Amino acid sequence: MSGTTGNIALLERTLAQAKAENRAALVGYLPAGFPTVEGGAAACTALLESGCDIVEVGLPHSDPVMDGPVIQTADTIALRGGVRIADVIETVRQAHAATGKPVLVMTYWNPVDRYGAERFAEELAAAGGAGCILPDLPVEESDGWRKAAERTGLATVFVVAPSSRDERLATITAAGSGFVYAASLMGVTGTRESVGNEARELVTRVRATTPLPVCVGLGVSNPEQAAEVAEFADGVIVGSAFVKRLLAADTLEAGLDGVRELAASLAEGVRRG
């Protein structure tokens, strides 16, 4: 934790603080521009004000191959609304400025590559962003991005999966920073009835390779699941369940109430674990 500078340090301090409180951190996800650019920024801020320790802001993509129907729907709404990368950066800026908490971007590699990795990293860091998660950028292809991220003080969070072999886990975690994103199951994003033992086993294998905190995502939607995952992970990541609350609401205000309520109950869940 010590010696790191830049926005990544805030992310590391936040995760260390949760650990010091003997609990898992709560990490929320929402796409920028959903339901509108302003509404999305308000929702990300609401997450951080209501129990999330960290927020991942999604940069919507036309072809979200790793997302289930819920986040696909949100991405489509955001893109039809004309969301641009500048809006994503602005969402990060507002959510971070309003709360002082760490905010990352999660997206696919092509938008970042096309925008320019250097330019994207600089603008994200200048907006107070703490890092980036690029699930379809494998470690072997990540040199260019990682140099840009290191230079600008951003974390590069890699995703690992139950199918990752041990030697590969070591390679990935050695290249990553901030935390490790452990996918709880084999599948795309979305809420699930249960988060199985695969996640626990994966976290154990990841810990054998790295001192980085390990946060678990995919499928977690309620306080009971959050508590279960919090028993063995350093952070619990929730995305689709928040998106569902916004999708189900008739008005933005009702949607914000919905995500606040969910964040509060999940925050209670991670303290139970």
Known active-site residue 143: no
Q: Identify the residue among 159, 206, 233, 238 touching another protein (CB under 8 A).
A: 159
Is 4 one of the binding residues for another protein (CB under 8 A)? no
Is residue 56 flagged as an active site residue?
Answer: yes
Is the dihedral angle over the CA atoms 59, 64, 67, 70 positive or is it negative?
A: positive
Q: Which is nearer to another protein, 68 or 102 (CB)?
A: 68
Residue of 14, 50, 72, 173 that binds another protein (CB under 8 A): 72
C-alpha distance across the termini of the chain, in Å: 24
Query: Which parts of 102-121 interact with another protein (CB under 8 A)?
Result: 108-115
* Contact indicator for 188, 159 with CB cutoff of 8 Å: no
User: From the list 20, 165, 193, 250, which residue makes contact with another protein (rule: CB under 8 A)?
Assistant: 165
State the burial class of residue 211 (Cβ atoms within 10 Å of its Cβ: 0-12, 13-18, 19+).
Answer: exposed
Contact between 168 and another protein by CB under 8 A: the answer reads yes
Give Cβ neighbours of residue 20 (< 8 Å, ≥ 6 apart): none
Catalytic residue among 12, 56, 87, 234: 56
Residues 223, 236 contacting (CB under 8 angstroms)? no
Instruction: Tell me which residues in 136-155 interact with another protein (CB under 8 A).
Output: 136-138, 140-141
> What are the angstrom distances between the C-alpha of 193 and each of 182, 214, 219?
18, 22, 8
Residue 201 and residue 162 in contact, taking contact as beta carbons nearer than 8 Å: yes
Q: Check binding of 198 to another protein (CB under 8 A).
A: no
- For residue 228, the minimal CB distance to another protein (Å) is 21
Cα–Cα distance, 273 to 263 (Å, whole number)? 16
Site for another protein in 16-55 (CB under 8 A): none
Under the binding rule (CB under 8 A), the answer on residue 135 touching another protein is: yes
Q: Cα Rg for the chain, rounded, in angstroms?
A: 17
Nearer to another protein, 6 or 162 (CB): 162
Which residues are catalytic, by number?
56, 67
List residues binding another protein (CB under 8 A): 61-66, 68-69, 72, 76, 79, 84-85, 108-115, 135-138, 140-141, 158-165, 168, 172, 183, 186-188
